[in-house]
Structure 1
Amino acid sequence: MPTVREIAHEFLERRGLTTIFGNPGSNELPFLAELPDTFDYVLGLHEGVVVGMADGYAQATGRPVLVNLHAAAGSGNAMGALTNSVHSRSPLVLTAGQQVRSAIGMDAMLANQDATQLMRPLVGWAGEPSCPADVPRSLAQAVFEAELQRRPTYLSVPYDDWTADLDDNAAATLDRTVRRGLAPGQGQLDDLAARFAAARDPVLVLGGDVDALGLFDRAVAFAEHLALPVWVAPSPHRLPFPNRHPLFRGVLPAGIGAVSSALAGHDLVVVLGAPVFRYHQHVPGPFLPEGAELVQVTDDPAAAARAPVGESLVAGPGPVLDGLLARLPAREPGETAFVPNPEPGTGERALHPEQVFAALRDTQPADTSYVVESTSTNSAWWRQMDLRRPGSYFWPAAGGLGFGMPAAVGVAMGLPGRQVVGVIGDGSANYGITALWTAARYRVPVTFVILRNGTYGALRWFAGLLGTEDVPGTEIPGMDFTAIAAGYGVPGTTVSDVDDLRAQLKTTPAGPRLIQVDTELTTP
C-alpha cells in the first residue's frame, strides 16, 4: 500500500509543483524524506525570504509553487511577506508541519494550536486534514484553491501522517483536475461596447493582473485600436503597458481626490484587471470626476464586491478584450512615436537616482525584468525607464518591505535566460538580506543594485506630509553592503560615478553580484 508521503509527492509532481521553497523545522522532515530526484528544494535562511522568493517565482512563471514552512513560529515569520503575495494574487501553496496528532491538544512544543486560524485572513483557504487518509485530498484542495482564487493557501499536516499507509482510494486524488471559466456573456460584451461607442472621452485604467495574466500585448493592441489614453491603477505591482508609449499617461496617484483630479474630463473610466483602487495617501475628495462613470472588469470577485464606486463585471479580462476588439471599429490613431526620456537629474553630493536608472536603461537588455523596492525613488524611476515588454516590472504589492531581494532571486529562477535586476533601497535591503546566501548557493544570475542614501527615504517624505519631521528612527547610516554580500558569498562593488556604474552594468557575470551606489535623497 502507498504511504501518504508517496501519494503527496506523486500528486505534486503530476501538477508540476516540483520546485519547493522552504526553511524546514523538525516537523517538516518526514514530508521531505525520500523526496524524488525530480524535485528541486530551494533553501532560504528566513521564512520571510522563502515566501518572497516563492512569490517572485510564481509571478515569473504564472504557476502555483509549493512553500514548506515550520509550524507556528516559522509560519508567523512568513506572514509579513505573505501580505505582498496576497495582493499580487500569487498562487502560493503553503505547507507547514504540525506536531503528532496525539500531542496537539496538550500544546506540546512546536504544536500549532488552531492551525487553520493562524494565517487567516491572509490566505484564501486554510486546512488541517481530519485524519491521515485525508491528507492527499486536503493537499489537492490547497493547490486547487490557490489556482482558482489566485491567492495563497495554507495546509498544516501532523508529521506522523506522512508515513501512514493508505488504501486504493488514495490514488483517486492523482487524476483530479479543476478548471475555471469566466467568459463574459454576449449581452454583457454588447453593453460594454455600446458604452465605449457612446462615450465622448473614454479612458482605460490597467492593473497588474493584465501583465500577470499574459495580456500585456493584447492590452496594447486594444488601446491602440481605440486610441485610448491609458493610466496604470494606483500602487501597481506589475507594469501592464509600455511606460513610454504615446498613449501612456502615467501611474495614477494613490489618493481618492488625486485620482479624481487625474481623470478629470473623462466620461467613461474602464478599469481592467485592478481593484478600484489601492489607495495609500489620505487625499479626500470625490471618487470620480463630475460626469464620469466607471466600469471595472476583473476575475477577482472580492475586488468587485468591495469597490466603492461604479459597476463591476466579474469576468476574465482576456475574453473581454477579445470581445470588445471584435465589436468596436478602430479609431484614427494619434501620435505613434514613443516618448523620449528627459535628461536625468544630477546630484550635488552623490549620484541622482535618475542617473542610476538611465544607466540601467541604456546598458541592460530591452527585456530585462526589474524587481524594484526603492520606495523613495518612484518619480525618478518612471521618468527614466523605458519598459516595453511583459514581465518587466515587479513591486511589493502590499508595500511590505523585504520583497525585493528575495523576489529578484525567485524571478531569476523562474525566468532562466532573462536578465533580472533587483533595484533595492538600503532601508529595504535589510529586510531580505539573507536572500544573498540563496543566490550564491544556487548561483542565480541576478544583479542587485543597492541605492544607499542612509535613510528611510519614504518615511522622511511621509514625515513632511504628516507634519511630523522630528520623529526618530529614519536614519540608517554606516552600512557597507559589499562587505555584507561578501559574507554571504556574493561579489560586490561600490561605484561613485556614472561612468564606472555604466561600465559595471555592461558586464554579465555568471552568478549573482551586488553593486552599491551612493545616491541623493529624493521623494516618491
Structure 2
Amino acid sequence: MTKQVPTVKDAVYQILRNHKIDTVFGNPGSNELHFLKDFPADFQYVLCLDEGVVVGMADGYAQASGQPSFVNLHSAAGTGNAMGALTNSRNSHSPIVVTSGQQARSMVFSDPLLKNTDATTLPKPLVKDSYEPLSPQEVPYSINRAINLAVSDAPGPVYVSIPYDDWEEPVRENLDLLLDRKVVQVACVDPSTIQDLRERIAQAQSPVLVLGPEVDSAGCNELVARLAERMNAPAWVAPSAPRCPFPTSHRCFAGILPAGEASLCDKIKSHDFILVIGGPVFRYHQKDPGALLPQGAQLVHVTSDADEAARAPMGDALITGIQPFVEQLYAALPEKEADCPVFKQDVVRNTDDGAALTVENLFDCVEEIAPANSIYLNEATSTLATLWSRLTMATSGSYYFAAAGGLGFALPAALGVQMACPGRQVIAFIGDGSMHYSISALWTAVRYQIPAIFIVLNNNGYMALRWFAELFDVDSAPGLEIEGVDFVKIAEGYGVKSEHVDSLKSFKLSLAAALESNGPSLIEVKL
C-alpha cells in the first residue's frame, strides 16, 4: 500500500496543534474554502459576520488566554475590512496570526478577480510582519514563523497571504524537523542594572510607579503590588491603559493617569523618581501642553517593546522581559518594617433602589452584584475614570480596552474573552455610539451561546466628542447626536435576551437575571 503523503494543509493543522491552537476565527470567501475543506474534528470554527468582529474576537481571546489566536480572512476585501480592528490588536500587543486567501498561484499572472495585489503591503504598518510564501512548500514554515513571531517580545499580529491552490500540495519529508521545533524566550536583567535601580530608589524622596498593560499580560499584578509596598510608592495606571496592571482595591492604587501632558505631570508633580513598567512613556490623547516631567525628576522606563523604548521623549529605558525584571527588582529591595501609606482614594457609594440612575451608581451596583472575579470591557469612553475608581479589578486579566482607541472593539472582544475564560463572568460597558461598529457580533454570541453581558450606556450621542468639542471650543459641529435607535429591539432580532431599564432598581434586577442566564444578555440603560 502506498503511503499517503501529507499535504500543506495537513502540515499546517499539525503545526497549529503543536502550538495548542484549536480555534479558527473567520469570515470565509471562495479563496479560503480549500483550507476549510474537511475541517478537522478537533478544531472549532467561529463564524463572524464582519471581519472587524473576527479580529476583535480573536484579539480578546488572545489577550485573555495568553495564547496566540488564529484568524482566516478573505483576500484583500476581508483584510481591508479588518484593518480598523487591527489597530487595536497592534497597540495591545495581541499575538494573532492573520491569514488570508490569495487567488490561485496558477492564475495570479492574469490579474484575476479576488487577487490580493501586493498582499504583503496591505496590512502594514499594523502587523509585526507580512508575508506571502514563494512556493507551496514554504507555507508550513511561514505559518510556524508567524506564530513564533506573534508571541515573541513584543507580541503582536502577523499576516500571511496564502494562494488557495497551495493547500493540497504535498509537503517535504523533512518537515518533521519543523514540527519538533520549539522556541523559548529567556530574559534576565544584568545584576549591576538592578543594583543601580535599587540605589536610585533608595535615594529618592518620593518614588512612584506607573504601570502599563505588559504587567497584566505577564501576570505580574500581585507581585507589582508587593513591589509598590516595598517602595512605599503609589501606583498609577498609565493613561488610556488597555488592561488593568494593578489591583484597584489595593492601598497603593492611586488611579489612572490622564492623557494630557500638563494634567499627567500635575498628578505626579510631588515625585522625584518615576518608574514606568510595561507601558509607553506616555501615550497622550488630548492636546494639553505642559511639562513632560516634574522639575528635577528622574524617569526609568522598563518595557519589552523596543519601539516604545526608542520613541519615548524622556527618561532612561530598559528593554527586557517584564516578569523577570519585577522579580529581580523586588528581591533586591530591602524589606519594609512598617506598612506603606494608603494612597487609594475612598468613594461614596449609593445603591439604594430609589437612588438616581447615574453612571456612578450603576457601576456601584455592578460592584455589589457581579462576581468578584468578573472581567470588564469598556467602550463607553466618557466613563473611563468612573469605572477605574469604582470597580474592583484585583486579578490578572480583569479588564480590556481598545488599545488604539478604535471603536467596535469591546463587543466582539468580550466574546473572545468569555470563550477564553469560561469560568469568569464577562461584562462589557458599551456606549450607544460604539455599539453600531460591531453590532453583528451579537449573532455570533447567540450562535455559540457565549454568556457575556452587554450593558449599553445610551446617552443619544458621542459623549466623548461632546467633551472634546467643549475642550476645543467648538460651539457647533454635526454628527454628535445619535437618536431614535432601540438596541433592545436590534438585539432581540439577533436572538439576544434584552431589556430596557430606567431606574437603579430595574437595573439591579436585570443584571441579576443576566448573571443567571446561560446565554448572552443585553441591558440598555438610558442616561
TM-score normalised by the chain length of structure 2: 0.96
2:167 is aligned, of 158, 162, 168, to 162
Amino acid at match of 1:187: S
* Residue aligned with 2:438, SS: coil
The Cα of 1:336 is off from its aligned counterpart by 5.6
Instruction: Report if the CA contact (8 A) 1:244-1:339 is conserved.
Output: no
> What CA distance in whole angstroms lies between the structure 1 residues aligned with 2:194 and 2:489?
58
The residue aligned with 1:97 is 101
Unaligned stretches of 5+ residues in structure 2: none
Deviations 1:369-398 (A, max 9, x none): 011110111232233222222221111110
1:213 is aligned, of 214, 218, 223, to 218
The residue aligned with 1:471 is 477
Written as runs of structure 1 = structure 2, the 5 A alignment for 1:43-442 is: 43-148=47-152, 149-331=154-336, 332-335=338-341, 340-343=346-349, 351-442=357-448
Amino acid at match of 1:321: V
The Cα of 1:460 is off from its aligned counterpart by 0.7
> What CA distance in whole angstroms lies between the structure 2 residues aligned with 1:267 and 1:59?
34
Q: Aligned pair 1:31/2:39, yes or no? A: no
Instruction: Report if the CA contact (8 A) 1:342-1:383 is conserved.
Output: no
Deviations 1:469-514 (A, max 9, x none): 3100011101111110111111101111101111121221011111
1:40 is aligned, of 40, 44, 48, to 44
* Residue aligned with 1:370, SS: strand
Q: 1:268 to 1:338 in 2, by over 3 A?
A: closer
* Residue aligned with 2:107, SS: helix
The residue aligned with 1:492 is 498
Instruction: Report if the CA contact (8 A) 1:366-1:389 is conserved.
Output: no
> What CA distance in whole angstroms lies between the structure 1 residues aligned with 2:53 and 2:235?
34
TM-score normalised by the chain length of structure 1: 0.96
Instruction: Report if the CA contact (8 A) 2:375-2:399 is conserved.
Output: yes
The Cα of 1:32 is off from its aligned counterpart by 1.1
> What CA distance in whole angstroms lies between the structure 2 residues aligned with 1:175 and 1:32?
25
Deviations 1:134-166 (A, max 9, x none): 111111111111011401000000000000112
Identical pairs, percent: 47
Q: How many residues align?
A: 519
Q: Aligned pair 1:511/2:515, yes or no? A: no
> What CA distance in whole angstroms lies between the structure 2 residues aligned with 1:330 and 1:291?
27
The CA RMSD over aligned residues, in Å, is 1.8
The residue aligned with 1:451 is 457
The residue aligned with 2:466 is 460
The Cα of 1:181 is off from its aligned counterpart by 1.8
Amino acid at match of 1:40: Q
* Residue aligned with 2:117, SS: coil
* Residue aligned with 1:117, SS: coil
> What CA distance in whole angstroms lies between the structure 1 residues aligned with 2:106 and 2:383?
53
> What CA distance in whole angstroms lies between the structure 1 residues aligned with 2:289 and 2:465?
21
> What CA distance in whole angstroms lies between the structure 2 residues aligned with 1:290 and 1:387?
33
The Cα of 1:16 is off from its aligned counterpart by 0.9
> What CA distance in whole angstroms lies between the structure 1 residues aligned with 2:356 and 2:37?
52
Amino acid at match of 2:50: H
The Cα of 1:301 is off from its aligned counterpart by 1.1
